[in-house]
Each structure stands twice: as C-alpha cells, then as structure tokens.
Amino acid sequence: MKIVIVLTSHDELGTTGRKTGFWLEELAAPYYRFKDAGAEVVLASPKGGRPPLDPKSNEPDFRTDETRRFEADPEAMAALADTVRLGSLTADDFDTIFYAGGHGPLWDLAEDPDSVRLIETTLRAGKPLALVCHAPGVMRHATNPDGTPLVRGRQVTGFTNGEEAAVGLTEVVPFLVEDELKKLGADYSKTDDWQPYILTDGLLLTGQNPASSGPAADALLALLAEAGNSRA
C-alpha cells in the first residue's frame, strides 16, 4: 500500500509579510495513521524539497502527541526535507493520495495544473482521494470528464467561513473554501467550528479542519480496505 501526502510549497501569507505553509498536525496525524497501518508513505509538493511549515502550527497550543512524534522521528524529518516533485507523479504510482491543508495550498495547489491532473486522474482510476481543512479548495479547477466541476453535486466539507474569520484571515486569503465549494455546486456541509467532521462521497473524502485530519486518514484507510476487498 503506497500513499502520497501532498503539501504546499507556498510560504507567503498574502501581502501581510507573515509566513504560512502546511499545517503540521495535518501532516503528522495522517502520516502515523498510514505508517502504523503498514503503508509506504511518500511526501510530495509542487516544488519538491523541503516544504514550508506554517510557524503557527508549531506553537505550543497546536502541538499534539503526533506532531511531537513527527519532529523526533529522523525518518519522518528526512522525508519532509526531500519531498518529491508533484509533477513527477502519476495516478499509477500510488494507491491513494491525501492532501494536507494549511493556508499555503490556497495560493499554489489551488492553481497548480499538476495537482488538478492528479486529482482528476486519481478518481478516474478508481482510487480514493482525501483532502482536509483548506485542501478541499484545491479542487476548484478540477473537472469531471464532461467538463463540469468535480465537486458539483458531491457531499463535501472544508474549512468554514467562521473558522477563517476566527483566525482573522477572511480578507487575506485568495478565496474562502466554504464559499468556493458552494459556488461550484458542491453539497457543502459542516459542523461546529474546530470540531472533527468528515464526509465520504464515493471515493472522495473531505475533512473540515485540523482536528479532522486523523479521522480522515482512518476513513481513507477504510476506503482502501473496501477497494481491496472488492477487487479480491
């Protein structure tokens, strides 16, 4: 079982002069769910190499047992230092793909043609796809074979307008995930801000926020198991 976790390469928080990147919990929680399940985990990013960590995600209030485990894990840190370039991957290279969030993806992955290609071809190959927090917004340009938005009519969730307002970035981000998914015709739903919430629609799995990343990884493993049983 081979799983790719996709991270952002973008580190500028708009024109604020502050740094952003990927959210550490959204990498660490799924990474260990997958590794502990015996999966081979590959980290990827648009530019390859070391992706930028959102410094806020490593503040004491946001650290978890899994983030501390990740930072103390030489193998994990080596993988993070040398992510593969997203454009080098095809849907044939893995069993599933997991997109971690953070604000960075709204600038690069949301507009990256290699990311769009991977999202579309992964689902068309009958392989599950998971995206959490801000990452569901990277589907904004992905389409079905008939050219309609990929998320149209699908049950999805993602970072809420209320959560974005709570962190004070409503006017900074290039678009609001909740609004964008609704505009594309998705059947968007959510729970209370900061509470775990995931949705599965066929092979597409989405999570609302950082707290949803571990449960989303567990649900993705269950989807993989179902797919394996159906092929058997």
For helices 24-36 and 213-231, what crossing angle results, to 10°?
40
Q: What is the pTM of this model?
A: 0.96
Give the span between the Cα atoms of 84 and 42, in whole angstroms.
8
Please report where in the chains the tokens 């769009």 appear, as a residue.
Answer: 116
Task: Give the pLDDT score at 232.
Answer: 44
| 36 sits in which H/E element | helix 24-36
Q: Regarding beta strands 198-201 and 204-207, do their DSSP bridges make them parallel or antiparallel, or are they unpaired?
A: antiparallel
CATH code (residue 29): 3.40.50.880
Q: Are 211 and 196 in contact (CB under 8 A)?
A: yes
What's the domain range around 70?
2-231
Residue 134: both structure tokens together: 């801000």
Query: CB of 57 within 8 A of CB of 133?
Result: no
Q: Report which secondary-structure segment, H or E, holds 216.
A: helix 213-231
Please state, in angstroms and as integers, the Cα–Cα distance from residue 175 to each residue in 7, 30, 92, following that order.
Answer: 19, 26, 31
Q: At what angle do helices 74-81 and 24-36 cross, to 10 degrees?
A: 120
Identify the pLDDT of residue 226.
83
pLDDT averages per 10-residue partition of the chain, 232 residues: 97 96 98 97 98 96 95 97 97 96 98 98 96 98 97 98 97 98 98 98 97 97 80 48
Maximum separation of any 2 CA atoms in the chain, in Å: 53
User: What span, in angstroms and rounded, lies between the C-alpha atoms of 1 and 221?
Assistant: 10
Look at residue 230 in the predicted model and tell me its pLDDT. Answer: 54
Phi-psi region of 97 (alpha: psi -120 to 50; beta: other; left: phi over 0): beta
Q: Which H helix or E strand runs over 67?
A: helix 65-71
Q: How many domains does the chain have?
A: 1
- What's the burial of 72, exposed, middle or buried (CB within 10 Å: 0-12/13-18/19+)? exposed
| H/E run at residue 121 | helix 113-124
